[in-house]
């Protein structure tokens, strides 16, 4: 895929995995609009990445549809088009724990960003991309947690990512059915341990969606605990270079894959085990199986 000169929009691009995507896109010659809710992180990301290519930052809260529409208006007024859309912004549900200890506000916050935010981003940009009648790619960042199988102590997050995977798969099928020049893809970040800001996602949690019953973080929800869990389960626990992960996504797009990211092969055996259990009406194995 020729990325040189293309206009890319990356939500949640100021940090973590999104920033790795921005780095890779700039390295391949794209013009990148970095859209993020965190003003200070956005400013420093633009300052640090600007020497790599042409980029600018726009503040957006993907949980607010008006804010997403304002982002699209800005992009279409300034850049005139969007060729590559990465609906990547995401949060945890604020610590995880036993599913029945989660609060409705955990669901509201997580789903407002991970589900409604991805939906608003796609619903706002995709019709404009289709209206332009030129080739394009839409990528939604999901997670193996939920997109493939749940991590039970992250039940709210897993449910949100199952929704993202299901939604973008529907979008991809419908685009293919109408023979649109735009394709949709799901991105499963992976390849090892991802040392990103997701572990401190509550820094962006709105005050009105705070927990009503504050409680200590659940076991397994800090970076160190999660690393120990992966190691105990014999899963890859090396820390991933996020710029490499961004390049891997673009290579997978080059190859026309629907599923982007390094773990599709590893998911295969787990999905077979899940299918076998489901066919026998049994409880399927989790992502940490
Ligand atoms: N880190 C992991 O292990 C992992 C694994 C699988 C999937 N993911 C997914 O990858 C994506 C990126 O997460 P990350 O790990 O890089 O975390 P991160 O916190 O480093 O990056 C997320 C970015 O999204 C921004 N953001 C948060 N809420 C927003 C909102 N309402 N509007 C706009 N921007 C907002 C944050 O400011 C941040 O820059 C998420 O969708 C996450 O669920 C992460």
Question: pLDDT tens, 199-226?
Answer: 999 999 999 999 998 777 777 778 888 8
Q: Which residues contact 82 (CB under 8 A, 6 or more apart)?
A: 7, 8, 9, 33, 72, 75, 76, 125, 128, 129, 136
CA of 207 from ligand 1 middle (Å) equals 19
Read off the pLDDT of each residue in 113-134 and give the average, rounded to a whole number. 98
User: Does domain 7-218+239-263 match CATH 2.40.70.10?
Assistant: no
210 Cβ below 6 A of ligand 1 = no
What confidence tier does 233 reach under pLDDT thresholds 50, 70, 90? confident
Q: Which residue has the tokens 């890319």?
A: 8
Q: Cβ distance 22 to 46 under 8 Å? A: no
159 Cβ below 6 A of ligand 1 = no
Q: Which residues contact 222 (CB under 8 A, 6 or more apart)?
A: 199
* Predicted local distance difference test score (pLDDT) of residue 227: 86
Residue 110 has pLDDT above 80, yes or no: yes
61 Cβ below 6 A of ligand 1 = yes
Read off the pLDDT of each residue in 166-183 and give the average, rounded to a whole number. 98
Does residue 193 sit in helix, strand or coil? strand
CA of 61 from ligand 1 middle (Å) equals 12
Q: What is the per-residue pLDDT across 1-40, written as a single tens digit (0 to 9) for each?
A: 899 999 999 999 999 999 999 999 999 999 999 999 999 9
CA of 80 from ligand 1 middle (Å) equals 27
Query: What is the spatial distance between Cα 117 and Cα 128, in angstroms, rounded to a whole number?
Result: 17
Q: Which residues contact 127 (CB under 8 A, 6 or more apart)?
A: none
Q: What is the per-residue pLDDT across 38-96, written as a single tens digit (0 to 9) for each?
A: 999 999 999 999 999 999 999 999 999 999 999 999 999 999 999 999 999 999 987 77
Q: What pTM was computed for the model?
A: 0.97
* Predicted local distance difference test score (pLDDT) of residue 186: 98
């Amino acid at each position: 895929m020729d990325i040189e000169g293309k206009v890319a929009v990356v939500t949640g691009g100021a940090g973590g995995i999104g920033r790795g995507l921005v780095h890779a896109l700039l390295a391949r010659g794209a013009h990148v609009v970095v859209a993020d809710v965190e003003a200070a992180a956005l400013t420093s990301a633009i300052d640090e990445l600007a020497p790599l290519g042409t980029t600018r930052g726009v503040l957006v809260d993907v949980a607010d549809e008006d804010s997403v529409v304002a982002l699209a208006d800005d992009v279409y007024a300034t850049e005139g088009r969007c060729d590559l859309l990465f609906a990547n912004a995401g949060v945890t549900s604020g610590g995880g724990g036993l599913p029945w200890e989660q609060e409705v506000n955990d669901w509201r916050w997580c789903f407002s960003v991970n589900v409604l935010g991805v939906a608003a981003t796609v619903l706002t940009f995709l019709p404009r991309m289709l209206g332009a009648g030129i080739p394009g790619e839409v990528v939604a960042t999901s997670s193996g947690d939920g997109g493939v199988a749940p991590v039970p102590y992250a039940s709210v997050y897993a449910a949100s990512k199952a929704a993202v995977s299901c939604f973008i798969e529907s979008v991809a099928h419908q685009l293919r059915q109408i023979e649109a020049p735009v394709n949709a893809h799901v991105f499963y970040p992976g390849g090892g341990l991802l040392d990103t800001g997701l572990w401190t996602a509550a820094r962006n949690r709105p005050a009105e969606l705070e927990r009503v019953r504050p409680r200590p973080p659940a076991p397994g929800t800090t970076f160190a605990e999660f690393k120990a869990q992966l190691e105990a389960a014999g899963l890859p626990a090396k820390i991933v270079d996020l710029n490499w992960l961004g390049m891997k996504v673009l290579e997978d797009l080059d190859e026309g894959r629907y599923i982007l990211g390094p773990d599709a092969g590893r998911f295969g055996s787990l999905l077979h085990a899940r299918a076998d259990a489901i066919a026998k009406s049994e409880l399927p194995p989790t992502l940490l199986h």
